[in-house]
Structure 1
């Protein structure tokens, strides 16, 4: 069974999608949401295998929601607009359906879902070119992972630092860490993850046994005592 969440701000659109999905017994619709914010709350309360989501909604968009969906949950966009398709697949969407959704087109989506499961295909670490939709002021930009220098835990959210400034993900640092390749990112402390090739130099920290990692943009991030030796080893090619 695929535990499924349907997200759309239009009640009739949710009802129609549920009708189209009814012939597929393995698709178990567990919940529905009218906003991305409501969907995030539901995803914090229970795990879903599949999410169908609209893109243009009040508040957070479907693209912003998709960037925060957990690792093992697949998602499909259902929208009346075709101009977001590239952005959707950059976010690793399973599929992109245009409204009104044709039954035969939805069937291909379900086939793709089942083929992935049959082959044992699972989400792994995100590639360096994976896009994350981030908001800077009133502008939303897609930033690639190789453009991000640092992730910082702030409460239940994660701050993201890149050349455009600071943005936020509505996700914990531990969830972010699950998707990051340890060959590219290093957790310097309980609250910070930095991109390894963004580290310019390492300096002694204020507390005994700690270090400071200085990044390419000049910012300084404290390295905890327990991580100092591992960080040094990353840059020791000869053992």
Structure 2
């Protein structure tokens, strides 16, 4: 009998890679949906009622924890996370199944064995509410974001936030602009702002966050709007009236 699963990860290349590896390790597992944001994940789960859900913690829209809170009691849940070792220890203490990115073959094989053993034995999924409360409390970020994970082809690059000149919103995506190149990540700018150091990264527009260290000067244009000139190439960014107060005090 085929067992169904949904994979939710905001990096399409990583979701597809996990699907391929699961197909080798667990041929009976039928992946009925790949989702790349929280809303799509929830829709796929409601549509196919999978037995297993592989769920990224950080996704645009609904977070993985918010999606998990909506799962039916028949779903076996495996968190997929890029958190550091301290957070991994938190997952262990919360007795949560998890895969740490980049997912290692031996860890994935062990997770598959554990899931198959539970399902073959008719073991029901664990109680979700208390588990999610523990995981959320233990994995809450304690420090500002230091790295940006950006997909480039089939690989993922880690971009230090110190190298980012500014971020701009692009629908459900965010453009990450450094001195050398531009990346596109699957994270809304609002969610990204919550993870950045507000003393170093300034919101200057509903769709723009600038790195204060990249600012060369601030002036007013003929319309009285503040204009930021960046170091290096002298590129300019206009400050919206809603975010002008910071610059009036300079």
What TM-score comes out, normalization by structure 2 length?
0.55
Tell me the distance in 1 between the aligned counterparts of 2:210 and 2:240.
Answer: 13
Q: Which runs of 5+ in 1 are unaligned?
A: 19-31, 54-64, 78-86
Does residue 204 (structure 1) correspond to residue 216 (structure 2)? The answer is no
| CA pair 227-41 structure 1, distance change in 2 beyond 3 A | closer
Tell me the distance in 1 between the aligned counterparts of 2:42 and 2:235.
Answer: 32
Q: Is the 8 A contact 1:132 1:145 kept in 2?
A: yes
Does residue 185 (structure 1) correspond to residue 188 (structure 2)? The answer is no
Question: What is the alpha-carbon root mean square deviation over aligned residues?
Answer: 4.5
| CA pair 212-90 structure 1, distance change in 2 beyond 3 A | farther
Structure with greater contact order relative to length (CA < 8 Å, sep ≥ 6): 2
Could you give the per-residue CA deviations for residues 56-108 of structure 1, whole angstroms, max 9, x where no partner exists?
Answer: xxxxxxxxx7764568535733xxxxxxxxx934597754343232539x99x
| CA pair 164-225 structure 1, distance change in 2 beyond 3 A | same
Instruction: Name the counterpart of 2:150.
Output: 134
Structure with greater helix share of residues: 2
| CA pair 45-150 structure 1, distance change in 2 beyond 3 A | farther
Instruction: Name the counterpart of 2:79.
Output: 76
| Number of residue pairs the alignment of both structures matches | 188
The DSSP-based 3-state class of the residue aligned with 1:98 is helix
The DSSP-based 3-state class of the residue aligned with 1:158 is strand
Q: Which runs of 5+ in 2 are unaligned?
A: 8-17, 46-52, 66-77, 92-97, 100-106, 119-125
| Larger Rg, first or second structure (1 or 2) | 2
- Displacement after TM superposition at 1:173 (Å): 2.2
Tell me the distance in 2 between the aligned counterparts of 1:169 and 1:162.
Answer: 13
The DSSP-based 3-state class of the residue aligned with 1:183 is coil
What TM-score comes out, normalization by structure 1 length?
0.57
Tell me the distance in 2 between the aligned counterparts of 1:128 and 1:118.
Answer: 19
Does residue 88 (structure 1) correspond to residue 82 (structure 2)? The answer is yes
